[in-house]
Amino acid sequence: MFTHPLGPEGAELRPVEPWRADEFLAHMDRAREYAGERNGLPDVVRDLAGSRAFLQSYADRQAADSGRLYGIWRQGTLVGGVLFRTFDPVHGVAEAGCWLEPSAVGQGLVTRACRVIIDWAFQERGIRRVEWHVATDNAPSIAVARRLGMTREGVRRSAFVHRGRRLDMELWAVLSQEWDKPAG
């Protein structure tokens, strides 16, 4: 296991593994309303079995080198996470994503955590392109993409259904040759 510090407020990034299903469910319960506005994760992790299954699916993805899941802890409490929803080292493309519970919003934790995992993907794994898919009305997530130095490449109209509503999705990306761990 590893722990990567994310800042002076005692925040750190580390893997979220299946044995943490209870802790992950408690976190999802705190995050459910806020994160669920635009993210389907709280709808998947509704009970302990769902929490275990979700975490196991990412353990399996990591073993297959096709995805990664990391938690953001602040002062010992899980408050959010970042992930590679897809990770394809053969083609050099990955899709990053994130979520937070309300107590962790506005502290730069997601941006700092994403810098860590994107830098790892580019520097260690040879990924050439990291994508960020975001609903057009999700201003906080779009702001993260901007802070990460990503370029908005377009809008996929009516591309995603969330809680019975069709959403337009923006596609943002950063290429390895553009990556310089931008400030902000």
Domain CATH code at residue 144: 3.40.630.30
Give the pLDDT confidence of 93-118 residue by residue, as tens digits: 999 999 999 999 999 999 999 999 99
Domain for residue 51, yes or no?
Answer: yes
* Share above pLDDT 90 across residues of the chain, in percent, rounded to a whole number: 85
DSSP classification of residue 45: -
Q: Is the pLDDT of residue 37 over 50?
A: yes
CB distance 156 to 171 below 8 Å? yes
* Whole-angstrom distance, CA of residue 68 vs CA of residue 47: 22
Measure the CA dihedral 27/101/72/26, to 10°. 0
Integer CA distances (angstroms), 5 to 8, 16, 113, 116, in order = 8, 15, 9, 10
**Cα Rg, the chain, nearest whole Å:** 15
Mean pLDDT of the chain: 93
Domain for residue 183, yes or no?
Answer: no
Q: Is the pLDDT of residue 183 over 70?
A: no
**Amino acid 181: pLDDT:** 57
Domain for residue 69, yes or no?
Answer: yes
- Output the pTM of the full model: 0.93
Domain for residue 54, yes or no?
Answer: yes
Q: Is the pLDDT of residue 164 over 90?
A: no
Q: Which residue segment(s) compose the domain that 34 sits in?
A: 4-178
Q: Is the pLDDT of residue 88 over 60?
A: yes
Domain for residue 108, yes or no?
Answer: yes
**Amino acid 184: pLDDT:** 45
Domain for residue 60, yes or no?
Answer: yes
Q: How confident is the model at residue 147 (pLDDT cuts 50, 70, 90)?
A: very high
Total structural domains in the chain?
Answer: 1
